[in-house]
Structure 1
Amino acid sequence: MVIRRATNTCATFVIVAFTVLAGAGGASSAVPSPIDPAMLPEDGPPVPPHPTEQRTLCVPAVAGGDGADIPRSQQDLGFDSVWPITRGAGQRIAVIDTGVSRHPRLPALEGGGDYVGTSDGTDDCDSHGTVVAGLIAAQQVEGSGFTGAAPDAQIISIRQSSAAFSVTGQREDPAVAENSSGYGNVDTMASAVRHAADMGASVINISEVACKPAGDGINDQRLGAAIEYATIAKNVVVVAAAGNVGSGGCKNQNPPPDPLAPLADPWDSVVTIASPAWYDDYVLTVGSVDPTGAASSFSLGGPWVDVAAPGTGITSLHPASPGLTNGVYGPDGAVQSFNGTSFAAPYVAATAALVRSVHPELTALEVMRRIEATAHAPAQGWNPYVGHGVIDPLAAVTGESAPGEPVQVHHQSVSIDPLPTPPTPDNRSRDAALVGAGTVGTLALLTLLASMPLRRVIRRHLPERRNIDL
């Protein structure tokens, strides 16, 4: 169970597990509660809020993915076309996750702290955070086709969750088994976001999500306050995974728009809420697409989804060796690949870092709008599963715009001049004819009306005859 969740989720199992400890309620059924800055957690050295212990073995990652072949997702997004312009130097990207193991291809990894155990954030028992970090900033190595999307950026690792840990002495209750495995909640995430922002991160990647059925509420006001603080007060681009249907509390997919009610508010039809993804004003939320470009079947939709990126068949850094991994061993010994919106979000976080390295004048919100504006939009322009579409890193970096203005992307489409305005037609002859015809018609009508009383008088004075028409 732990292994399945580690490979197939964006750590929803951990976050949802401890929403019970955080409490229930506090938000409306469809939208987050208004953000209260007073709920912002204080910053301080990261420590677990409860005594913890490791309860299960660490998730074993399989060695795989080495070689000269470029992973499909890396090819599809074309990050190599951006690298002659920027490779993300100077950007510090905080990965709030299960920790990031030290790896030769992350030489500048910085430990940001640990809300699960006693490490500095560079222990990864779940084979999740290391994979996420590698997708963002793994350096190039000769002979390897795999490279992080922003290989010159620096990773700050903050361990916020782990499926292998739990509160010391806690024992599983069969009635609530799914809510009692793992450690991490929306409160520890809030503290991690605040801490990352105060450490000077320019981008924060959160490949974790807490889901609840709409109507149950989720006590995430501290997280909402931390997200707003990071985005507005500290000018950090916050990127979050949308969540995976079937994982943790993300049990039911949110419905598509009703074609019979095109103007309906999509928030009114939400059946599953997801945090921090649903803080749409301050978070760039990422869905997953498969190799065909279609929304992945597992990707949780919602009115808060902004963009999408590949999230299947992922290759990245191995958490316990100098090489790469493309999956973990399942309970039956079979290899399970890395699939999930967890692994789509890092591509967007890396894109944000690339944009910020070239356009330091842009605010966090402007960077978010830029990435949305340059994405490959679906036919509807936006939908709840891929948002504004699959990201285009080159377009996001090279599009031209002034701060606060829509991005003009010159290389994505050919500009054509508008059709010339036709000359004003000379309608004088037509108008004269219409006036003449109208005058004649009016006179005829008046003549007819004037004759009607006379006709009635004549009829009264004539002798009655048949077959006489006047």
Structure 2
Amino acid sequence: MIDTGVARHPRLPDLEAGGDFVADGGDGVSEDCDAHGTVVAGIIAAKPQAGQGFSGVAPEARILSIRQTSALYDYANRQDRKPEDPPKGYGNVNALAAAIRRAADRHASVINISLVSCMPSGVSFSDGAVGAAVRYATLEMDAVVVAAAGNTDDNCKASNPGIDPLNPTGDPWNNVTTNVTPARYDDYVLSVGSIDQNGLPSSFTVPGPWVGVAAPGEDIVSLDPRGTGTITGKYVNQSLSPLKGTSFAAPYVSGVVALVRARFPELRALDVIKRIEATAHAPGEGWNPSVGYGAIDPIAALTAEIPRTLPPKRPADALSVRLPVPSPAPPPDNRARDVALIGSGSVATLLILGLLASFPIRRRFGVREDN
């Protein structure tokens, strides 16, 4: 886990220190000022506890914690800061690249990155070191790298457009307006978008041609970094804010990846990514930039037979099928109606004839009465 550190918690007994890129002398498990990393770690590996319905996706997993960022730290010797100014936060892409390599060199089988760096398209984005690091981790060290897709309500101010309805089969990479790292290195990274409880894309999830799958990112429950119980939110500016974000969708996927790696130890990293994507619940078009190949299905990921190849990350072509022309309906059978009408007409005719024939007979035999 590359995050804000993980606080030691009784439900995370298998926690290892991986280092600290934020504070001198830190080890990645001595503190989690932001609470973010502990929440992420709980989603992955919290042990079950009687009386509490929450537990991690892979409670037998071991967590290697590397602290790479914190919103509550600042750069040393910052000249523009006034005493009343809040910290700008600490963490950069070079430190992220170094953290990824460290996790890979420590033989992590899954590397969860619940943080992103965003840059508008067309602006120079010096994230080559991150790209090299995830390639090294995936291809050389056989680690599955799982990364959040990013949120529009934090440092990803803009959002990539969806599929162009006038050109639905166009290459979605041509429409990118916001680059997200490390998610955009999708040859080596499994990028995760967020969905709500109804399976719809969360309003804050950043779409992109790199999104692989989606997982729950709203109404989150996880471990309390300052206690022994669970939390559903944290205080921001003296108000309780619910836990939500692609940061919390990613560890759900990382937990499933850990289970798949235990179930299929022979699979290489890219094969594990393929299995997760192939068993997701795909949207109607087969893939879209908000949820990728769809919501993860842990049971299917552990049991299903999967195809040899996956379609590319773009909507499937529209199907055109010639439907057979239906045979004409048989003519209606009116025989019963005709017989009934003929019979009724015959009876009516006979009655009329009988009535008319009775008039001369009555006149012939009639009696005339005179007063």
Task: Give the alignment's TM-score, normalised by structure 2.
Answer: 0.80
Superposition pairs for residues 406-425 of structure 1, below 5 Å? 406=309
Task: Tell me which residue corresponds to 2:92.
Answer: 185
Task: Tell me which residue corresponds to 1:202.
Answer: 109
Instruction: Tell me, in whole angstroms, the C-alpha distance in 2 between the residues paired with 1:261 and 1:168.
Output: 50
Superposition pairs for residues 382-461 of structure 1, below 5 Å? 382-400=287-305, 405-406=308-309
CA contact (8 A) 1:291 1:310 kept: yes
Residues 1:130 and 2:58 are matched in the alignment = no
Gaps of 5+ in 2: 311-371
Post-superposition CA distance 1:271-322 (Å, at most 9, x none): 1000000001000000000111000000000000010000011110111111
Task: Tell me which residue corresponds to 1:440.
Answer: none
Task: Tell me which residue corresponds to 1:416.
Answer: none
C-alpha displacement at 1:193, in angstroms? Answer: 0.3
SS at match of 1:167: coil
CA contact (8 A) 1:370 1:406 kept: no
Instruction: Tell me, in whole angstroms, the C-alpha distance in 2 between the residues paired with 1:334 and 1:321.
Output: 19
C-alpha displacement at 1:393, in angstroms? Answer: 0.5
Instruction: Tell me, in whole angstroms, the C-alpha distance in 1 between the residues paired with 2:308 and 2:259.
Output: 19
Task: Tell me which residue corresponds to 2:257.
Answer: 352
Post-superposition CA distance 1:108-161 (Å, at most 9, x none): 100100000121101211010000000000001111100000000000000000
- Identify the match of residue 140 of structure 2 among 233, 248, 251: 233
What stretches of structure 1 move > 6 A for 4+ residues in a row?
none
SS at match of 2:255: helix
Task: Tell me which residue corresponds to 1:97.
Answer: 3
Instruction: Tell me, in whole angstroms, the C-alpha distance in 1 between the residues paired with 2:40 and 2:294.
Output: 21
How many residue pairs were aligned?
Answer: 306
CA contact (8 A) 1:172 1:181 kept: no
Task: Tell me which residue corresponds to 2:149.
Answer: 242
Instruction: Tell me, in whole angstroms, the C-alpha distance in 1 between the residues paired with 2:79 and 2:13.
Output: 39
Instruction: Tell me, in whole angstroms, the C-alpha distance in 1 between the residues paired with 2:81 and 2:19.
Output: 30
- Identify the match of residue 373 of structure 1 among 265, 270, 278: 278
SS at match of 1:165: coil
Task: Tell me which residue corresponds to 2:207.
Answer: 301
Task: Tell me which residue corresponds to 1:219.
Answer: 126
Task: Tell me which residue corresponds to 2:329.
Answer: none
C-alpha displacement at 1:400, in angstroms? Answer: 2.9
CA contact (8 A) 1:99 1:124 kept: yes
C-alpha displacement at 1:405, in angstroms? Answer: 2.7
Rg comparison, structure with higher value: 2
Identity %: 56
- Identify the match of residue 362 of structure 1 among 261, 267, 276: 267
Instruction: Tell me, in whole angstroms, the C-alpha distance in 1 between the residues paired with 2:129 and 2:45.
Output: 29
337-346 vs 318-327, which moves further: 318-327
Q: Which amino acid aligns with 1:270?
A: V
SS at match of 1:244: coil
Post-superposition CA distance 1:376-435 (Å, at most 9, x none): 00011000000000000010011135xx9359xxxxxxxxxxxxxxxxxxxxxxxxxxxx
SS at match of 2:232: strand
Task: Check 1:172–1:293 CA distance in 2 against 1; reply closer, same or farther (3 A cut).
Answer: farther
Gaps of 5+ in 1: 1-94, 408-470
Q: Which amino acid aligns with 1:395?
A: A
CA contact (8 A) 1:311 1:341 kept: yes
Task: Tell me which residue corresponds to 1:109.
Answer: 15
Superposition pairs for residues 34-49 of structure 1, below 5 Å? none
Residues 1:156 and 2:87 are matched in the alignment = no
Task: Tell me which residue corresponds to 1:285.
Answer: 191
Instruction: Tell me, in whole angstroms, the C-alpha distance in 2 between the residues paired with 1:172 and 1:364.
Output: 44
- Identify the match of residue 319 of structure 1 among 206, 215, 225: 225
254-263 vs 156-165, which moves further: 254-263
Q: Which amino acid aligns with 2:256?
A: T
SS at match of 1:153: coil
CA contact (8 A) 1:246 1:252 kept: no
